[in-house]
Structure 1
């Protein structure tokens, strides 16, 4: 029933995204995560071992609305975003076929490694099938942090992301403090450093 009405909108969004690879400017935002609704998971899931969460603080931290969702990683493991609460979080929205995304991979992995335990870095893959997403992670050497398989675009909608190669950076309270492309990941380290002191 809804599939017939959603399909044209989904195709239009995908076509728009195909033409927008790497375009657009970053912006700061005082608003929280996007208002687009997604279905909440009915049972909590455990994060993958590779998540940069040490477990200290996530249980005690109040979970902001932006992080109240669950997904599955490209490796098929359950992922509960609530475990990201209490630390700044970088969400990197990418597509496997996007050259701009590939250009951001090395810097994103470098920032994730340099801030392990202090900042969560999570890739959110979309606009393709899971097998291509797994290949991208392997080919780019970004397997040190979790990547969500968002084939249906639920996390993308939640954060109102309309193009790949897009970063959404949240402070430790879950407030969106930056949204944008950052070609080659340039400037990501500085933005993260500003959140860690």
Structure 2
């Protein structure tokens, strides 16, 4: 029982230690871009793994990267399988992070500009849900879904160790970009490249 208490605390401390929030300079300490796919972004699928999604996406193969569920900051269930078949931007942020606040407007703009062509999902962590909801309201980033990842499950799945981090998946679920984009600059070009 003692290990159950210590492990989450140790994980949170490790995540906080590895974060570089507020540096905003795009240097290696702010999170160098990784282009190699993580374990979670492998396009491996089971043969019967397809998803209708309820929106005409019948037969779309669900990559392993999108085989998870979560809860949004407003308490609604979220099934990542609904993202299958389109490029997806996962934006990992924390509510107290000034670098993340600086990315919110550009991320919301990209979400609006590519609506129907690509998915944009915020993944909030490193704080409580009330602070996450406040961040979304304060930054005006409520036009796309934000997951409340208080336990860090989605962060761990994508091997994210710092906030203000983007993971971009192509339509097959393969990771094509990972890294920090100060102010969200360059996000639109990266999404344009995967939407054709």
TM range (shorter): 0.7 to 0.9
Confirm or deny that 1:126 pairs with 2:133: no
CA distance in 2, matches of 1:126, 1:132: 10
How far apart are residue 20 of structure 1 and its match? 1.6
CA distance in 2, matches of 1:32, 1:139: 34
How far apart are residue 33 of structure 1 and its match? 2.4
1:29 — aligned with what?
36
How far apart are residue 182 of structure 1 and its match? 0.4
How far apart are residue 168 of structure 1 and its match? 0.3
Partner secondary structure for residue 27 of structure 1 = coil
What's the TM-score once normalised by structure 1's chain length?
Answer: 0.85
Confirm or deny that 1:155 pairs with 2:163: no
1:74 — aligned with what?
73
How far apart are residue 170 of structure 1 and its match? 0.3
1:175 — aligned with what?
174
Partner secondary structure for residue 168 of structure 1 = strand
How far apart are residue 30 of structure 1 and its match? 4.2
What's the TM-score once normalised by structure 2's chain length?
Answer: 0.85
CA deviations on 1:54-83 (whole Å, 9 max, x unpaired) are: 8232x4210000000000000000000001
CA distance in 1, matches of 2:116, 2:183: 24
Q: Which runs of 5+ in 2 are unaligned?
A: 25-29, 43-52
Between 1:134-143 and 1:26-35, the stretch displaced more is: 26-35
How far apart are residue 96 of structure 1 and its match? 0.2
The change in CA–CA distance for 1:153 and 1:85 in structure 2 (over 3 A counts) is same
Conservation of the 8 A alpha-carbon contact between 2:41 and 2:173? no
How many correspondences in the alignment?
178
CA distance in 2, matches of 1:110, 1:86: 21
How far apart are residue 7 of structure 1 and its match? 3.2
1:42 — aligned with what?
none
CA distance in 1, matches of 2:96, 2:36: 28
Partner secondary structure for residue 91 of structure 1 = strand
Which stretches of structure 1, 4 residues or more, deviate above 3 A after TM superposition?
A: none
**CA RMSD, 1 decimal:** 1.8
How far apart are residue 177 of structure 1 and its match? 0.5
Conservation of the 8 A alpha-carbon contact between 1:32 and 1:175? no
Partner secondary structure for residue 61 of structure 2 = coil
CA deviations on 1:138-160 (whole Å, 9 max, x unpaired) are: 01111000000000000000000
Q: Which runs of 5+ in 1 are unaligned?
A: 36-52
CA distance in 1, matches of 2:66, 2:87: 11
The change in CA–CA distance for 1:101 and 1:164 in structure 2 (over 3 A counts) is same
The change in CA–CA distance for 1:111 and 1:54 in structure 2 (over 3 A counts) is farther
